Amino acid sequence: MKTLLQISPGDSVRVIDFDGGINLRSKLTQYGIYPGDCLHLLRKAPLGGPLLVACNDREIALGRGVAEKIIVELQHCE
């Protein structure tokens, strides 16, 4: 088990679960990120900045606090 924060840029992961309340869950699903979806980590901003992930044709910036709460597994997926 890893969080999205522990992944290196360039890797693909599958979302397992969100480690947060209903608020976080509905926020993420609003942006089209659901458990079971594939995320591709594009880049990390320096100095504790956000992560940029590609998910379902959409690019989304996630703050580190949010990324820390996304449980993922390394898996090559499309």
Partner 1 sequence: MRIALIGQPNCGKSTLFNQVAGYKAETGNFTGTTVKFTESKVRVAGQVVEIVDLPGAYTLEALSPAEREAASYLRSNEVDVIVNVVDASRLALGLELTLELLPLDKPVILALNMMDEADRLGLHIDGLGLQKDLGTPVLPLVASKGRGVKGVFLKALEVGKNGSKSKVNHFTKSENAGERHGQARMLAEKFVQQGERRISRRDRLDDVLLHPVWGYAFLLFVLYLFFQAVYGIGQLIEPPLLAFFDAITQGALAPFGSEGLIAEIILGVMQGIAAGIAIVLPYLLPFLFGLGVLEDIGYLPRVAFLMDALMHRIGLHGKAIVPFILGYGCNVPAVMSTRTLEEPRDRYLAAALATLVPCAARLAVVFGLVAFYLGPLAAFALYLFNLLVIAVTGRILNSMMPEDTPGLILEMPTYRTPTLKNVAGKAWFRVREFVVEAWPLLILGSAILAALNFYNAAVAFNLLVRPLTWSLGLPSEVGVPLIFGILRKELSLVMLSQALGTVNFGAVLSVPQMVTYATFVMFYLPCLATLAVLRRELGTRSMLAIAALTVVVAQLAAWIAWGATLLLL
Residues of this chain that interact with partner 1 (CB under 8 A) are 20, 23-24, 26-32, 34, 42-43, 45-50, 52, 56-66
Least distance CB 31 / partner 1 (angstroms): 6
Rounded CA-CA distance 68/3 in Å is 6
CA-to-CA dists, residue 20 to 12, 26, 45, 72, angstroms: 22, 10, 23, 14
Residue number with CB closer to partner 1 (31 or 74):
31
Least distance (Å) between residue 74 CB and partner 1: 22
User: Which tokens sit at 12?
Assistant: 């693909």
Nearer to partner 1, 13 or 62 (CB): 62
Cα 14 from chain centroid (whole Å): 9
- Residue 30 Cβ vs partner 1, minimum distance, rounded to whole Å: 4
